[in-house]
Structure 1
Amino acid sequence: MSTSNFRAGHVAVIGRPNVGKSTLTNALVGAKVSIVSNRPQTTRHRLLGIATFPAGQLVLVDTPGLHRDQGKATASAMHRWMNRAARGALEGVDAAMLVVRAGQWDEADGFAYEALRSAGLPVVLVVNQVDRLKDKSALLPYLAQISEGRDFAGVHPISALKRNGLEALVDTLLALMPEQPAIYGEDEITDKSQRFLAGEMVREQLMRQLGKELPYATTVEIERFEVEESAKSGPLLRIGAVIWVERDGQKAIVIGKGGERLREIGAKARQHMERLFGARVFLETWVRVRQGWSDDEAALRAFGYHD
């Protein structure tokens, strides 16, 4: 990789919940490093997605949705943790993408913009899901309205899902990065371990299949992650995942009638793992109860939610 005029730096991916931040991160990286569902708060951890191009490298800091602080009296420990993770993404980055949903701008979007400007960061406005706008003629007036009185380093209407508009966005972001060699190797796509990603793949299926029934009451702990090498068939990953819930009734929902729901969650998670890891996966899953874990700071630390 030539380092002549090469640019590299960190970009925070910020926005209110469920505007497509993780879908955008995955699209730019070219691989699934951040889980996606249509439920808010799917992303809980700060995660780096590494996108390398001929002209430079973008280290994308994907974050939980940014909320106004609710105060300790009303916010759960999980909610406070996610807000800390989102705000922590602003430390040491070179620029930020403010991701919004096309046709929408509310108080939460304004709050996120002000947080970025207060941090002194160049802000690139990314208007996602333009493909879903029914009235395409409304896009330009909408862009003019939300840009008025705000200092954006660039404004990019895109569709992260369909990968439309990404090339121009990358050009704008790279221009904001310092000239320096790549921070990570060309073949690296995230800072997270396979063990962490395996847990996220299971949690993604929980959010997708049970998001309406158990939106935030589950988390996943990887108890076992072993690699067995075989000259004939390649590596086999043996993974043991514990799904934690807060009540016995929730355990029954996750398992499903005759264990059917748990098998479906495991089967789909395993398929995603095999595609991401490029290896065969043997996945075992269990469901256990720990009452009130999402509002217990000690439990959160035990389950990997570290500042």
Structure 2
Amino acid sequence: MLSSNPTSHFLTLKNRPVVANSGETKAGSLKLHYWEWAGHQPTVLFCHAASFHGRCYDPIINNALHGHHVIALDFRGHGRSQQHPPPYRFPWFGEDVLHFIETLNLSSRNLIGIGHSVGGYALTYAAAIAQQRLFHSLLLIDPVIIPRSIYEHENIDKSTTDYVLRRKNQWSSVEDMISQLEKRGTFSKWPKDVLRNYCIYALDNNCKLTCSPEGEASIYQSGVHPDTNIYPLIEQSKHIHDIPIQIARILPGESVLVLDQSPTAPDLVKYFRKGKDLLLESSKHLFPMEQPNIAIKLVKDFIRENQ
């Protein structure tokens, strides 16, 4: 079952860090876009992975969350949200999520967060810095919350993101993008409806990627920067430890920047008082795209346990 015709909305956040064309970061207005599926409580806030957007998860939303009120956010620089020159920093995504929730006045009693990859980090960051409990519960799908030692030493070679800068940025049409990606690498493993949705909403009106290769590379580089270290925020948080948090991760590997392997710290669960850890041994980081049926079951089980 594909899209149930969610509605499109824009929301402006005030006093957010925005990078100007000059490269200078200033406080300003940030226009975010989100998709909304009408339905009953609880509200489910879905946050996507880097270079993706809110419509990449339609099969999961429409099957596992059918009838629920669902909001799928486009992060800054993604989908229909405001773009700016890089860098795009991990903490900004988390702060944006917090301001977004506060602006919409979403109640923690009826708010469930589901985040994949960077989306999992952003939800956790928002919950950690909030001045009150932000969520009823959280599902973190292979979140980019890396081992603490990597943040503290930042010992990853930034050249490992050079492949991102070689991505094709300009396409002649959506169909051109689909026809080329369906033969290429991990995209060839995606169901056709998932790939089509990704391509449709990843391009602007001029068939250019909304998340540019330079922007995507800056996100990956920020992911291992010491300023992204979320562990002190979790430890100091007054409210995140009241939130039941389910971590669903794949097998770890030698590099946190290889998408076949998990970036998630294997011991992440120990930092959450109400944390649970689930290891998916036969999946890869992008399994919500490659194996949506696994993600659908995961979300269904989580919602059933956290009604």
TM-score of the alignment, normalized to the shorter chain, above 0.5? no
Whose Rg is larger? Answer: 1
Q: What TM-score do you get using the length of structure 2 for normalisation?
A: 0.30
